[in-house]
């Protein structure tokens, strides 16, 4: 029986107590005070000479980041299948993230407001191609009359038409019905009559001749400056002839005219060229001098302004109304009659200029005679045998 309170003898083969190894830290991290971070280590590193880390020692840095979040849409939301069964595991479940919705396409709003350039372009097209113009058949003999037109003059009209912005080259080719090859072949020539046999010359001549007969412009109008309040008052004052007494026969629409169509053409062009003057305002002023039931329309004025010669457009209501307006302006300004006006009164007498027989009037004459028109617009018959 062993003796109590006596020390036990040491075992002959007992292992020595292990001495913890002092960890060595590399200084390549640029930090000689703090130890390098330990990755994925659940326990802190041992401190040399102590079984337990001192309370004052700074804790080591651990790095164990969460896995990156990758947005995805569950398959049951994309394929239309049933949702997956709920999870009953007691383990901590990862947070459920809402599916990332695709960005909504930008909503396109329709702007009903038109730009000023679009509005002016539409107005210009209506002026160039009005619907209320007299129809002219393609077999009309007047379309074949060249008059003073040559190949060079037709080329000049085409350039003015396109240069004014009325149409583009391709649009004009389509309008008259020619190919670009035929068009370029005609436009690249320079002789007075060089290209008279081409298709472009014939069709372009018919195009511009028809517009002249219909009283439509041969080029687009230039945009006018906007009127100010001062300009508007000045224009209204110029157009107002209400303080002049009615002319003899005005109430019945039988005023004697003592101007030729060419003279009225010149007066209208000069009047419309005034700053701030518009065709619409001028037409309103003309209609104030006409009896009830008669009126001047924009088509009437365009047709009259497209006519030529001293009797061109003499039956048009725009010619008659314009004469009354300019005669009242002469009286209002106190100007005397011109020499040509006095000659017209002497040539036409009390009835005045012919406003009943148009350019298609037929005359019967003897053999060897032909009708001619003098500078006053009167028809006379001349014996052509006297010039042989």
* DSSP conformation letters of 145-173: --TT--HHHHHHHHHHHHHTTS--HHHHH
According to DSSP, the β-strands at 38-39 and 379-383 are unpaired
Coil, strand or helix at 370: strand
pLDDT in the model for residue 117: 46
Closest CA to 297 of 78, 141, 133, 98: 133
Per-residue pLDDT of the chain (388 residues; tens, 9 = 90+): 555 555 555 555 555 555 555 555 555 544 555 555 555 555 555 655 555 555 555 555 555 556 666 666 655 555 555 566 655 544 445 555 555 555 555 555 555 555 544 444 455 666 777 777 778 877 788 888 877 789 999 999 999 989 888 889 999 999 999 999 999 999 998 888 999 889 999 999 999 988 888 778 888 776 656 656 557 788 888 899 999 999 999 988 899 999 999 999 999 999 998 888 899 999 999 999 998 888 999 999 998 988 888 888 899 999 999 999 999 999 999 999 999 999 999 999 989 998 888 777 777 888 878 888 888 888 888 877 765 5
Q: CB-side exposure of 301: number of CA atoms within 13 Å?
A: 21
How many Cβ atoms from other residues are within 10 Å of residue 344's Cβ?
23
Q: How far apart are CA 345 and CA 342, in angstroms?
A: 5
Largest separation between any pair of C-alpha atoms in the chain:
184
Distance of CA 75 to the CA centre of its chain: 51
Q: Detail the DSSP E strand segments found in the chain.
A: 38-39, 62-63, 369-373, 379-383
Q: Is 174 exposed, middle or buried (0-12, 13-18, 19+ CB in 10 A)?
A: exposed
Helices and strands: H and E segment counts in the chain: 12, 4
Looking up tokens 């001549």 gives 205
| Alpha carbons 258 and 327: distance in angstroms, whole number | 10
Paired tokens of 109: 């709003």
Asked if residue 143 lies in contact with residue 209, where contact means CB atoms within 8 angstroms, the answer is yes
Using CB atoms within 10 Å of the CB of residue 327, give its burial: 0 to 12 exposed, 13 to 18 middle, 19+ buried: buried
Q: How confident is the model at residue 44, as a pLDDT? A: 58
DSSP 382: E
Phi, psi of 151 (to 5 degrees): -65, -40
Packing angle, helices 317-333 and 279-287, rounded to 10: 90
């Amino acid at each position: 029986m062993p003796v109590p309170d006596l020390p036990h003898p040491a075992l002959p083969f007992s292992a020595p107590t292990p001495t913890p190894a002092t960890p060595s830290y590399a200084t390549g991290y640029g930090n000689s005070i703090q130890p390098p971070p330990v990755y994925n280590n659940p326990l802190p590193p041992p401190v040399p000479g102590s079984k337990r880390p001192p309370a004052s020692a700074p804790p080591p840095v651990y790095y164990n980041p969460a896995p990156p979040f990758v947005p995805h849409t569950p398959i049951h939301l994309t394929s239309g299948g049933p949702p997956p069964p709920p999870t009953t595991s007691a383990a901590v479940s990862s947070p459920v993230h809402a599916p990332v919705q695709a960005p909504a396409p930008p909503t396109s709003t329709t702007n009903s407001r038109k730009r000023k350039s679009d509005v002016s372009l539409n107005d210009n097209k209506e002026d160039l191609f009005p619907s209320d113009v007299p129809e002219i058949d393609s077999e009309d003999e007047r379309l074949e009359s060249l008059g003073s037109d040559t190949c060079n003059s037709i080329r000049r009209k085409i350039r003015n038409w396109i240069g004014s912005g009325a149409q583009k080259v391709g649009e004009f080719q389509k309008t008259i019905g020619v190919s670009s090859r035929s068009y370029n072949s005609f436009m690249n020539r320079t002789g007075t009559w060089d290209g008279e046999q081409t298709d472009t010359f014939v069709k372009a001549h018919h195009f511009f001749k028809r517009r002249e007969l219909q009283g439509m412009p041969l080029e687009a109008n230039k945009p006018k400056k906007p009127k100010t309040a001062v300009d508007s008052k000045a224009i209204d004052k110029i157009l107002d002839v209400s303080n002049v007494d009615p002319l003899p026969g005005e109430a019945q629409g039988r005023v004697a005219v003592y101007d030729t169509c060419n003279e009225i053409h010149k007066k209208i062009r000069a009047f419309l060229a005034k700053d701030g003057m518009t065709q619409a305002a001028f037409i309103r002023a003309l209609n104030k001098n006409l009896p009830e039931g008669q009126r001047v329309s924009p088509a009437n004025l365009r047709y009259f302004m497209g006519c030529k010669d001293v009797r061109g457009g003499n039956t048009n209501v725009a010619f008659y109304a314009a004469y009354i307006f300019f005669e009242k302006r002469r009286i209002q300004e106190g100007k005397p009659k011109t020499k040509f006006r006095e000659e017209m009164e002497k040539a036409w007498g009390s009835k005045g200029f012919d406003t009943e027989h148009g350019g298609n009037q037929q005359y019967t004459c003897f053999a060897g005679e032909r009708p001619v028109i003098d500078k006053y617009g009167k028809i006379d018959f001349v014996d052509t045998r006297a010039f042989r």
